[in-house]
Amino acid sequence: MATPSTPRTAVITGAGSRRGIGRATAHALAVAGYHIAVLDLDKEAAEDTAREVAARHGVEALGLAADITEPDAVDAAIGEIEAALPPIGALVNNAGITSPTRFLDVAPAEWDRIFEVNVRGSFLVTHRVAAGMAERGFGRIVFLSSVSAERGGGVFGGVAYSAAKAALLGFARALARELGPSGITVNSVAPGLIDTDITQGKLDEERKAAMIADVPVRRIGEVEDVADVIAFLARPEAGYLTGVTYDVNGGSHMH
């Protein structure tokens, strides 16, 4: 993939996990020519991702601890990225938490926590970086939603998770309209069943086989399947794609 002619940094939230979509995305964006900044609650995991990406791809990479639900923490982390790396050209709102709790059993505190991380966190980080992108006339923002938002749960997430991930779809579309004139595209990716730490150990073999049988391509998705779509959307050449939701589910949900 062609390297962007202008040095730019991609910020990926929640990219510490070894087997997560975030880390795979950090690698894919480095291949696409971006320098990489990783935010995660776990400082050591964020630094580990950054070290791995820098060593493998020869780009600059920075791993920082940040609670994305706290405005001051977000401001400090983005400030550090802006001081250390080239201008931010891409943001991937990957950090999120899930919850399988049935609706009638959900406590308000759990509902709020799901929205805090998935929606408020995405708002705070996007709000902090969007002005700089608009000023420079270039930006690529990608939200990680979920097939659960489109089909109404049914994979791992319950009602709270589906509602929060659906909120991101509306957020992305409205933001795409508002930021389009400033050279910023805003898109969403909605993964289906992907082999990550979240799904690992939650499926017995029988259920796994039944779920795979329901996927036309007959396999569970890999983190790279999602990361490659995100990298495609983050390219400078993808400037005429905005407000779109890309389904990465092997055909298990079509609409």
Residue positions annotated with a catalytic role: 161
Q: What are the Cα distances from residue 204, in Å, to 21, 50, 99, 210, 253?
A: 22, 33, 19, 10, 22
Give the distance, in angstroms, between the CA of residue 253 and the centroid of all CA atoms in the same chain: 20
Residues 89/4, Cβ–Cβ less than 8 Å: yes
Run of H or E including 121: helix 121-136
Nearest to 39 by CA among 110, 91, 84: 91
In the block, which residue shows the tokens 């962007």? 4
Strand ranges of the sheet holding 184-191, from the earlier edge strand across to the other edge: 61-65, 35-40, 9-13, 88-93, 139-144, 184-191, 245-248
